[in-house]
Amino acid sequence: RLRSFNRLQVILQHLKMSKHTDSAAEVLLEKKGAAGIITLNRPKALNALNLSMIQQIYPQIKTWEQDPETFLIIIKGTGGKAFCAGGDIRAITEAGKVGDKLLQDFFRGEYRLNNAIGTCKKPYVALIDGITMGGGVGVSVHGHFRVATEKTVFAMPETAIGLFPDVGGGYFLPRLSGKIGYYLALTGCRLKGRDVLRVGIATHFVESEKLPALEKDLIALKSPSKEKIADLLNSYHMKCTIDQEKEFALHEHMEKINSLFSANSMEEIVKKLKQDGSPFAMKQLETINKMSPTSLKLTLRQLREGASMSLQEVLRMEYRLSQACMKGHDFYEGVRAVLIDKDQSPKWKPAALEEVSDEFVDNCFKPLGNDDLKL
């Protein structure tokens, strides 16, 4: 009797522990009703994605995709501030300095995950409440439904740290209307709230405090079809009146954005901005002048080529670019200036657009043979 009592104590202790360790887990994966739910759980790090999270989420999505009892997948973040502020840039930087293979593993894993979301056969609903940047965009934008709130802040700020808008940015950015995607990619401009819906990054807009109710209703759907899920999201969306009257922040500048950012080279964009001379153009020029010249050139070409590629082709191209950036100077310098020393004054090499040769850019796009990304 005593032994079985002890065993019970051990089991209870274990359950307590597993409950405890679960809440400390960086990503929570659970099945509720008809839904598989992914919760990014690193609130202190604004739910930034690290390799271990990626390695847990990817197989789970693949499992749920095959499971006849799972009808949809929901992804959300904890902490109330961010959905997911990006990838774990610090870890990548540290790895790069010592030549660790995390440099390959992280980008490989992340892009495979982006592709799994982009090709997922089950409806995928991302609740992008709060900061949604970089890697956070990658785990949301390729899914069927993206629900923004008044707290959503979207940006692809990579050119400021010597990188480029990856995670499939070369696929979705050039497909936004006009040249807005090019503008967002090159300047890192932030969009807030309803504007994230207006440019087509989000598919729905719902009040932040209504998200728990929406999630509950999604979970309660009985063997839902994509149409049923869309109907439910639409009903919440239609009832939300926050900022309805507010004009799109870039509305008055759209004509300029479409003409100024339609040039074929970075030098030409800069020339157009200078010639335009309006306060808006000068502000963009000032922003662009702070960015890594190498990143700007890689990004413009990435988007121009990505515009006619499949998501898989884009991710393969971006993997090549990621590895080129990891071998270069600007990424480490950008992370130092923006995230580590925070002096905000990176010393880019080369320091001017004219010094970034076409030959160098071409090399960054070259296939990696056996090391290419396999999807």
Asked if residues 152 and 126 have their Cβ atoms less than 8 Å apart, the reply is: no
- 361: three-class secondary structure by DSSP: helix
Encoded amino acid at 296, one letter: L
CA distances from 110 to 83, 94, 136, 269, 339 (A): 16, 18, 11, 31, 21
Q: Which of 163, 158, 161, 162 is nearest to 184 (CA)?
A: 158
Encoded amino acid at 52, one letter: S
- 49: three-class secondary structure by DSSP: strand
- 179: three-class secondary structure by DSSP: coil
d(Cα 48, Cα 41) in Å, to the nearest integer?
A: 9
The DSSP H or E segment spanning 75 is strand 72-77
**Can 166 be counted among the known catalytic residues?**
yes
- 153: three-class secondary structure by DSSP: strand
Q: Are strands 35-40 and 124-128 parallel, antiparallel or unpaired?
A: unpaired
DSSP state letter for 147 = E
Tokens of 190: 């932030």
Active-site residue (options: 110, 129, 166, 215):
166
Instruction: Please say whether the dihedral angle defined by the alpha carbons of residues 265, 270, 276 and 280, taken in this order, is positive or negative.
Output: positive
Asked if residues 140 and 165 have their Cβ atoms less than 8 Å apart, the reply is: no
Active-site residue (options: 86, 87, 143, 328):
87
Encoded amino acid at 313, one letter: E
Q: Which of 48, 55, 137 is nearest to 89 (CA)?
A: 48
d(Cα 311, Cα 274) in Å, to the nearest integer?
A: 34
State phi, psi for 155 to the nearest 5 degrees.
-165, 155
Burial class (CB in 10 A: 0-12, 13-18, 19+), 242: middle
Active-site residue (options: 88, 110, 129, 158):
158
d(Cα 155, Cα 85) in Å, to the nearest integer?
A: 9
Cis peptide before 157 (omega within 30 of 0): no
Active-site residue (options: 135, 169, 170, 181):
135
Q: So which residues are the catalytic ones?
A: 87, 135, 158, 166
